[in-house]
Amino acid sequence: MYYQKKFYINGEWVNPISSETLAVVNPATEQEIGSIVLGSTEDVDKAVAAAKQAFQLYGQTSVGERVSLLQRIIEAYQDHYDEIAQAISDEMGAPIGFAKQLQADAGVGHLAAALEVLKRYRFEEVVGDSVVYKEPIGVCGLITPWNWPLNQIACKVAPALATGCTVVLKPSEIAPLSATVFAKVMDEAGVPAGVFNLVHGDGKAVGTRLSNHPDVDMVSFTGSTAAGIQVAKTAADSVKRVAQELGGKSANIILADADLTKAVEDGVLECFLNTGQSCNAPSRMLVPAHLHDEIVALAQQVADSLVIGDPSDEATTMGPLASEMQFNKVQQLIAKAIEQASHLAYGGLGKPQGCEQGYFVKPTIFSHVSNDMLIAREEIFGPVLAIMPYSDEQQALDIANDSPYGLSGYIHSGDTDKARAMARKLRTGMVHINGALADFQAPFGGYKQSGNGREWGVYGFEDFVEVKAVMG
């Protein structure tokens, strides 16, 4: 059982000022497995004060000192690797194999990527007759989601510390357990007091106070577009920098010359990865109209191959949704799609056979979808795929770009040059060609309502630095 009654502030585990608790529920069993204390504005103030004080010294540390610190953090993370993976599996229902191979691994991957960037990053350069310095922005409020807990924590904390910033982290109250283990990692690595602080809580109290606090110099937020809008509005009065990675409704364009079997398998598995709870999931599969029925049949076969069930079983490939609220939302959206006369090709309402307990959902595929349907417009955040026919490649691009979101795109083609040319025309922050995996050194972020700023690699450093020009 995970009962965490303390916050990590100024290098110590301290008692919160608040006393209100929230149960942590295992979504595979619907049973309470622990609880956290929900922080108050006073708890945030205490953490921000510690971060502000620590910045006076930490902001002046050398690159070498910060390299050494990141190396120690990576070592400590590896020591707690299995504990982190287990916490992720327990708090959000991720299959244990997936939690080990991707979820926990993403955290150490971002730390390692930041370390390599730090070794070569140019904090000073001559431009014209001036010297341009990149200096740490200061105290950073980091607000992270529940769907990829350590991925999002690490890809914010790593560049913040690498550039000389201090941080206050508010992880999701839905999945707070792995964040607590991460705080243990930071403590054991010898992160200076006040440089890293953890306050649990909800968006209403902790998130709002981090966003409007006058001593917080920037906020980095990952979550829904609706919540991101509120963060930006709350932060506006203090004119602080706000970096956002928000929602998505990514299109996966399969061209007629693609290896259809591989393209469909890649697309379906990527859409259903993490039980569909990924902002960059390729949830719209755009296919040549004359191949539509063949592709639907292939997609059904891939869905049949999924092993849904107990996350503690190494054979399981798809676990439950992360919470009852998420389960109800996905069920409602599937029901609305059926009402709109979308063609249900696989899955549908209710739970999979044998998964009556837990927030499990059926992997669901709709076919013959048009881009005006709700299933094609709204981010479902569950294992729901919309297969959409197009008449020619220009129409495919038009459909793909006809979205309020612009996070990611996917293209499958037998001609890589053609795929790259098409990628240039997608209004998205990222494009994956022929199943290419994510690259921790490449920028992660989107256009339009998918957010602003970029994370990962050298681009992830830019939101955490101020630029100073010294003339003469």
Residues taking part in catalysis: 245, 279
Burial classification of residue 339, based on how many CB atoms lie within 10 Å of its CB (0-12 exposed, 13-18 middle, 19 or more buried):
exposed
Structure tokens at 342: 């979308």
- Residue in the structure block whose two tokens are 């979550």: 223
Return d(Cα 124, Cα 106) in angstroms, integer.
Answer: 30
Instruction: List, in sequence order, the alpha helices (H) in 80-146.
Output: 81-92, 96-98, 104-120
Question: Residue 210 class from Cβ within 10 Å (0-12 exposed, 13-18 middle, 19+ buried)?
Answer: buried
Write the DSSP string, 212-275. H-TT--EEEEES-HHHHHHHHHHHHTTT-EEEEE-----EEEEPTTS-HHHHHHHHHHHHHGGG
**Token digits of residue 11:** 């290098």
Three-state DSSP class for residue 412 = strand
Rounded Cα distance between 54 and 293, Å, is: 61
Q: Which residues are registered as beta bridge partners of 24?
A: 34
Question: Hey, how many other C-beta atoms are within 10 angstroms of the C-beta on 163?
Answer: 27
Work out whether the CA dihedral 360, 331, 274, 366 comes out positive or negative. Answer: positive
